[in-house]
Amino acid sequence: MSETMKAWTGINLANPEAVIGHALSLYHPALTIASSWSVEDIALIDMAAQIQPDIRVFSLDTGRLNPETYECAERVREKYGIEIEWMFPDREAVESLERAKGLFSFRETVENRKECCSIRKVEPLRRALKNQKAWMTGLRRSQSVTRVKLDVVEID
Domains and CATH numbers, the chain: 13-140 (3.40.50.620)
The band of 2, judged by pLDDT with boundaries at 50, 70 and 90, is confident
Has residue 140 got a pLDDT over 70?
Answer: no
Interior angle at CA 94, CA 90 and CA 99, nearest 5: 150
For residues 73 and 84, give the distance between their C-alpha atoms in angstroms, rounded to a whole number.
Answer: 8
Has residue 141 got a pLDDT over 70?
Answer: no
pLDDT tens-digit map of 34-82 = 999 999 999 999 999 999 999 999 999 999 999 999 999 999 999 999 9
> What SS3 class is residue 86?
strand
